[in-house]
Structure 1
Amino acid sequence: MGKSTLLRTLLLAAFITGISLLHYFTPLHLPYLHDIFQRLYYLPIILAALWFGLRGGLLCSIVVSVAYAPHILFQWGGQMTMEMEKYLEILLYNIVGGVTGLLSQWERERTVELQKTARGLEESYQKLRHQSERIIAIEEQLRRSEKLSTLGEMAAVLAHEIRNPLGSIRGTAEILKDDYKPENPKYEFIEIQIRETERLNRVVEDFLHMARPQPTDMQSCQVLDELEMISTLLLSGARERQITLELKSPPFPVTIQADGDKLRQAFLNIIINALQATPIGGRVLISTTVHASTTCEIQFHDTGPGMDAATMERMFEPFFTTKPGGTGLGLVITKKIIETHGGTLMVESEVGKGTTVIVKLPMQTAANGGMP
């Protein structure tokens, strides 16, 4: 019996006991008081019915009847008319207790059904909301795929119409460069021409990598080895800028099915972006964790200035960049590589607190040589 049930039971018992004592100790020549006390019995009966349903109402009415009957028999004995009226009152106690308890029980069952319906509607709402979010995400992916498909159709034309003239321009500039000494003003102009030609060629290369479907050579790949290799390559540059580049890894190999070259390209793009965003004396942390031996999560955290909400919304749009001289394609290509490997790429950022890029990749199963 719960604490609330016990308190209610004691309260009902106190009501019945108090009213019965009033009956027994009130003189019979004050019948109007007895009439009032007689009506007071309805209070505990109705409360019991409301609190405990049909059984509570009936049980309380029976207890009231038992408590009230001796008063009728021994104190009002001999007055047949008075006794009959009070016996009918006892009958009414039980009718009121039963009807009120039945109505209360029906209402309680209805409330339970309504609560179940409300929970079902809430669950349905959450499912619909989740499905609508997935539909919106799928529609966004379809729009992005359609855009990339259009870019892919343009890629073949651009490759021929831009790269060949760029090669001719660069070759001509290199020939002209030999005719001038470094102190000549025209030498600097030719250097600028060659540098800008290389930049345009890089833009075209990035564009082609993003727009065209890239064949993948999926093999067993050690994620930690790839990260260590890239960290080693970039460590000297980080030290020159007094940036701490730290790699935290689990004490066991993490094996996935991947194209090593493309995975390195994706990781390299992310780490370079992190280093470029980190100020002098800052820190870039790369940490790897494994979830349930099925998913490898790699976090790239920098202590840079972070990004605002407007930048976060547009960061995966082709050609959108906040870096001077950037093409705005690096992160798009990186995301495409990760998704090609069945993974996901998410970005969390807060202005003034840095940015964290989270990459999740499916792990290779133990049967295929992955983690046990």
Structure 2
Amino acid sequence: MASDAPDTSPIGKTPAEECVDADRCHGWRSYVQPSLLLAVWLPITLTLALHYTTDPEQVWVHNVLRRVLYLPILFAAFRLGLRGGLLASAIASLSYVPHAFFHLHHIAHSDPAPTLEKALEIVLYNLVGGVAGLLSDAERRRRTQLRTALDERTRLQDQLVRAGRLSALGEVVAGIAHEIRTPLHALRGTAEIVDPFIPKDRAERRMWEIHLRELERLDRTADRFLTFAKPRPLDLVDLDLRNVARRLADLIATDADKRGITLDIVLPDTPVAVRGDRDQLAQVALNLALNAMKAV
């Protein structure tokens, strides 16, 4: 299935460009890619070979060949940045020097151009390689910054979408909480009326008190639903975990009997003091106990 997730891959990058950008990623291997062998190193080699083998009387040919060397230097600079441009210009310059300034007699021909012109050409090779490499690096940095900005924009858009969904969910939850509180208030009102008629010495009184406490907890839970979209600070108090365990046992005792489960509550003699949110600890303990009973 096609994914709707935004494509955060680099813009307009070919596999070759990925390697160049990382070359950063591949080290020296970036300089011997097939595309660079064909577009940089082979043209430099062939151009210099023609230089060395062309008769000095063919002045125009030597002039053309000197200019042709700029092409692979520029290509290396644009593909590999400053280091690539300087490397290509240095190789071209060093390889051209014997042809330009030394008489090789029967081994090879020399460039018939004036010495100053040839010296300036070598300087220009390195200058062009360096400047083009700097421009290429600057462009690459600009593309990286643009790519980062687009990724950040996409991330912010996703956050806005999630925030909108949470806001809508908060409205739904608030509506449900209001619906819950209406019958809850009726239950609490009824409980307040019935409470005086249950003597404190009756066995049912303990379960009745549990009923009242759970009504209060349900009311607080409804309040939390009403503030769903807003973070609620923890109501930290000093607690004895033994009381939490006893309260939990009372809550699940009836359900455990129906399932044929025997509860065995083993508590230490000394208090187990912690600092936490009473309601949330009780909710966590209740969820764990109910899940455990369902698994039996």
TM-score, normalised by the number of residues in structure 1? 0.42
Q: Which has the higher strand share?
A: 1
TM-score, normalised by the number of residues in structure 2? 0.50
Using CA pairs under 8 Å that are at least 6 residues apart, name the structure with larger relative contact order, 1 or 2: 2
